[in-house]
Amino acid sequence: MKIYRNIALTLVCIILGVMVSWQYKSVNFNQKSVQQNYKRVEEVMDELLSEKHKNELLSQRLNELNKEIEDYKNATNAYAALSKALARAEMIAGLTDVKGPGVIVTLDNNIEKNGYVEETHILSVINELRASDAQAISINGERIVAMSEVRNTVNYIMINGKQMRPPFVIKAIADPDKLESSLTLLGGVKENLELIYHIKVDIKKSDNIEIPKVRDDGTVIKTDKLTPVND
């Protein structure tokens, strides 16, 4: 009987030992698992912080690029506005070839009636065209600008430093109807030239008149004595 009790006690001790051993291993495993999980969490946090920093850098670079694009657009717009202003200034100054609708006025001598074209006749036509908002004028292919001269000499008329004789073909770009009406008014330029000075006057409207730029050879526009005034 005593032997059985010892055997039972031994078995109980063995079972308790095994259970304690398992429990210890389980606790030890759980601790390692927790440590590994904690380490993984730290790694993930580090990765997240790293990605956040990268995103901040990318966002900063994106803002810089957007600013560069905006600056480029502003510079492009400023350049376009400057180019437009320059092109307009060149047209007004007569430095570019131009075309558009307008009129063609031809003045010629009328030898039978002793009518000869003089500088005053040409200037009267030019002044009337300018008063009617002509935007560009030429005489026999010579662009008329602020410095152009139209003056009589012995046997010819000097225009832009060139000797010219009749017929004088005057082209002007503007509203054709307005130009024609101003020239053909009762008692106006055309009537006076024909009735008083016996000049032959022909006026034609056109939808496509081409006027060349002023010659830039120093004979029309002179700037050698000019110096810009700085603000």
Q: What is the mean pLDDT of residues 170-174?
A: 98
Q: Is the pLDDT of residue 183 over 90?
A: yes
Q: Is the pLDDT of residue 188 over 80?
A: yes
Q: Is the pLDDT of residue 107 over 90?
A: yes
Q: Is the pLDDT of residue 134 over 80?
A: yes
CA distances from 187 to 49, 166, 168 (A): 92, 24, 22
The Cα 24–Cα 21 span in angstroms is 5
What residue spans define the domains of the chain?
Answer: 1-93, 96-211
**Which pLDDT score is estimated for 32?**
57
**Which pLDDT score is estimated for 70?**
82
Average pLDDT, the chain: 84
The Cα 116–Cα 155 span in angstroms is 11
**Which pLDDT score is estimated for 34?**
54
- Let me know: does 184 contact 122? Beta carbons within 8 Å: no
pTM for the whole structure: 0.68
Q: Is the pLDDT of residue 7 over 90?
A: no
The Cα 145–Cα 92 span in angstroms is 9
**Which pLDDT score is estimated for 37?**
63
CATH for 96-211, options being 3.30.70.1880, 1.10.510.10, 3.40.50.2300, 3.40.640.10? 3.30.70.1880
CB atoms under 10 Å from CB of 132, counted, come to 17
Dump pLDDT digits (tens) for 23-71. Answer: 555 555 555 565 666 667 677 677 777 777 777 887 787 788 778 888 8
Pairing between β-strand 168-173 and β-strand 157-159 as defined by DSSP bridges: unpaired
pLDDT band at 224 (very low <50, low <70, confident <90, very high): confident
- Let me know: does 173 contact 130? Beta carbons within 8 Å: no
The Cα 52–Cα 17 span in angstroms is 52
Percent of the chain with pLDDT over 90: 49
Q: Is the pLDDT of residue 12 over 90?
A: no
The Cα 81–Cα 75 span in angstroms is 10
CA distances from 172 to 105, 142, 191 (A): 8, 12, 19
* Most confident stretch, 74-83, 99-108, 141-150: 99-108
Dump pLDDT digits (tens) for 145-165. Answer: 988 999 998 889 999 999 999
**Which pLDDT score is estimated for 190?**
97
Q: Write down how long the chain is.
A: 231
